[in-house]
Amino acid sequence: MPYVSIRVAGELTKEQKQKISKGVTDVISEVANKPKEAILIFIDENSRENIAKGGVLMEDM
């Protein structure tokens, strides 16, 4: 059973999550020849204050 973990800075709308989930599921199903029902997707939304790039919190960029 394939699973995908997607981490984003900030929040996504429900519609964005649905589109991402469908697109990723379709690609994995096609390329890896896996049934769509077997693919799990986890979307983790992270506050920009908890992510740093180049030593600077993304919240401050």
Question: Which residues are marked as active site?
Answer: 2
- Cα 54–chain centre separation: 22
Q: What is the DSSP letter of 24?
A: H
Are β-strands 52-53 and 3-9 bridged in parallel, bridged antiparallel, or unpaired?
unpaired
Write out the two tokens for 44: 């983790």
